[in-house]
A and B are shown apart, each in its own frame.
Chain A
Amino acid sequence: MFRAKLRDSNFFRHLAIFFAIIGPGIITGSVDNDAGGITTYSVAGALYGYGLIWTLIPSFIVLLVIQEMNARMGIVTGKGLSDLIRENAGMKITFFIFIGLLFSNIGNTTTEFAGVAGSMEIFGVSKYISVPVVAVMVWLLVVKGTYEIAERIFLIFSVSLLTYVVSALMSKPHWGEIGSAIIHPQLEMNTKSLAMVIALVGTTIAPWMQFYMQSSVIEKGLKMKNFKYTLIDIAVGCVVTVVVAFFIMVACGSTLHPSGIQINEAKDAAVALKPLAGKLASHVFAFGLFVASVFSATILPLATAFYVSEAFGFEAGIDKKWDEAKEFYILYTGILVISAIIILVPNAPLIQISIWSQVINGILLPVVLVSMILLINNKKIMGIYVNKPLQNIIGWSAVVILTGLSLMLLLMPLINRL
């Protein structure tokens, strides 16, 4: 009996450590399913049915490996990824990465506001009301320093992402077909489906997440000794990302694809679900989209302003006054304002903006990944915690495959013309 008690207290101690450590991975995983992600998964489901669900498996593996590297770098060095890149890769590469990050994230934030606008329209709220209100609320929330409460609320709200599971189940999916589609992965060799695959991978593994992950690990003051708990946290986060993506693709693949309905925005998916899966499913979908969009619209501009400032040596942080950290606040406010305005401009080329920010993401991702793998294999920086061979193999293959896909996409129009 004594021994059982001992084991129990041990179990609770482990549980306590785990709850003190969780957060970075799960939050990053939840932010990952933003409006852009939901759109991409919906479009992929509507266009290809269950056909591209298999891409989630390699995405999951790469996501897991990359985030583990970020966490390890953050814990060992105590430095942000932008600090490390600036200190080791020199000014020009730093400039390229962060200007790219800035532009792609203005695009991404625009997509988030598109999500806000679209989802609220389902509930009958005009975008000219919902977007300014959300933008001002987000700004106040962050600048007036209650961001940490906000993060907790968002984390709880992110459970609402599971509403997609409900939507998917209500759409009566064909499990057999899903299974066989995953076992026999197929890829049509044309521009459209290649672009879709790149977009799917790119939205799951967005470059800014790497910076976000590394900083939140440092903020938490985690230690290598408890790394196994951090690993669990990361794994849970990755599973959340992939499971939600899976159910969105299933929901759209079971309803929209057989009826041949094509969509461009996540909102379209919610609208289209209505006659096929019922009003409730459509509202559930729209609610999830709204929460995800606001969550990411809060974190993205803040994170971007932070990393750009860090890399270029501007004072940064919401605990600083406006005068102390002018560049940081200008960046943060600028990203929010520009993104909100773009959405409110009538007939704004939203689809082009979202495609271009995906393209910039796609170009940035290999550059960031290469920098990361070089940094994490540097003994001077990482000491004994450099990458193991398997991690390098997965990391480098991800770089090669992603670069290859992007190149193929660029060259495809030329080849087709021949």
Chain B
Amino acid sequence: MTSLTTFYLSGIIGKEAFGADGDAIGIIKDLLVNTMPSGQNDPNQQLVTGVRLRIRKETRFYSFKSFRVVKAREMLNVTCTGLIELSNEEVDNGLLLVENILDKQIVDMNGRKLVRVNDVRLATLPAGTFAIAVDIGIEGLLRRIGISLPIKRFLSLFKINIPAKFILWDDVQAIDYSNLNIVLSKSYAKLNTLHPSDLADILEDLGKKSSISVFSSLDEEKAADVLEELETHAQIHIVENLPVNKAADVLEKMPADEVADILDELEDEKAELLLKEMDTESSQEVRELLEYSDNSVGSLMTTDILSFKPGITVEEVIDELRIKKPESAELYSLFVTETNNELIGTFNLRDLVVAQPKTLVSQIMKSEPVFLYDNQKVDDIAELISKYNLLAVPVVDPNNQLQGMVVVDDVVEDLINKRRTKKR
């Protein structure tokens, strides 16, 4: 005997549940689904655990264990063998399908974007009832309005099918938990697997409250990467609404030039508050960058650079890199400075790799490197980078002291932004 019954959420909400004796017990208002994964691939993850039932004037949560959904002649019947009330804790560990999913935006993990839920597809198996997929297609829309069948029949005369669009439950991440006392970092666990720029796009499309709660759930490294990718007004919204200490923690993880760009947009008092909360080393760098005027090379440069003395060997340089594990952008170009921090040469990873371990840095470096002054206008950079095929250009102050470097990524971003503003 096959006992698989599939049905739609919209098909049972607002229906009466009947007792064993055939009497109506109450009206189904919502279903509760288990979300706390006890492990990877936990089969109970999408189990319907509870039902919100209105009995006369009162609405309470009951265990779904004693409920059963059966389809008889295209009609759905919900039967119940007994009412067991759920504890608050059990309710808090779940997700409400109507309240949190239906008509709400969720993240489609495969498409990496926000979608709106038109319906939820459920299935009753011997082991229980499960949420199997969310419906985001036009058919789901029509079903909700109650005109799906007639329209389907009408269109089938012309051999037209309404395309159904489903996303498996495993591939969705709910966003709206506003009514539940849930541990958010756990609930948004799936989002941590997304690429920071996809996450940033999603955050920009979310409402203000949700974007803050999703952002707060990310770990600091991820949060810093995402914040870097956000558009300016979304960055400001997040930084202003996060608790100061949390915001400072995230900012510390970001490159100083990006932090300076954000703080530049904030009100002075707020920026000062954040700088005070950040550790001294990071905040000092940011403060120096904030001194530069908007259109100068200094405002675009990063201070995360690696510089070495001319007298050390290639081997020593590589050892140091292994210890420091710098970000890839920091390795675009490596610098050689005198003890007074005066720039005397540059070299790159290729120079390092092809050289013998005992070779001195002064032997592999290019002396008299191309450089920019920190107070120069940014307009000159793109030309320079393209002319000399550079990934990064060192920046020095008027005394030839190395201050930082401008990397090609930031130059491209700056160019795109400028073109966009012109277009507008």
Give me the interface of A with B, judged by CB distance under 8 Å.
76-79, 83, 86-87, 90-92, 94-95, 145-146, 148-149, 152, 221, 312-313, 315, 380
Contacts and interface: CB of A to CB of B under 8 A. Distances in A.
A313 B118 contact: yes
A86 B233 contact: no
Nearest to A75: B208
Question: 4 closest Cβ contacts across the A-B interface?
Answer: A313-B116, A221-B233, A78-B208, A91-B144
Contacts of B179: 380
B141 interface: yes
What class of interface size applies to chain B in its complex with A? 20 to 34
Nearest to A84: B207
B237 A77 contact: no
A218 to B, nearest CB: 9
B324 interface: no
Contacts of B105: 83
Nearest to B119: A91
A318 to B, nearest CB: 12
Given A76-B208, A86-B116, A90-B103, 13 more contacts: A77-B207, A78-B209, A83-B207, A92-B144, A92-B145, A95-B145, A149-B424, A221-B236, A312-B116, A313-B116, A313-B117, A313-B118, A315-B113
A91 B117 CA distance: 11
Nearest to A94: B103
A83 B206 CA distance: 10
From A92, A145, A152, A313, residue with most partner B Cβ within 10 Å: A313
22 contacts: A77-B208, A78-B207, A78-B208, A79-B208, A86-B103, A86-B116, A87-B103, A87-B104, A90-B103, A91-B118, A95-B141, A95-B145, A145-B423, A146-B423, A148-B424, A149-B424, A152-B424, A312-B116, A312-B141, A313-B115, A313-B136, A313-B141
Contacts of A146: 423
A85 to B, nearest CB: 10
B105 to A, nearest CB: 8
B116 to A, nearest CB: 3
B211 interface: yes
B198 to A, nearest CB: 15
B178 interface: yes
A148 B423 CA distance: 7
Contacts of B234: 221
Nearest to B142: A95
A98 B51 CA distance: 32
A91 B145 contact: yes
Interface string B168-182: 000000000011000
Contacts of B103: 86-87, 90-91, 94
A380 B233 contact: no
Interface in B307-347: none
Contacts of B424: 148-149, 152
Contacts of A78: 206-209, 211, 237
A328 to B, nearest CB: 13
A230 to B, nearest CB: 15
Given A148-B423, A312-B116, A380-B178, A79 B141 contact: no
A87 B106 CA distance: 12
A313 B165 CA distance: 12
Contacts of A95: 141, 144-145
Nearest to A90: B103
Given A91-B144, A313-B118, A77 B104 contact: no
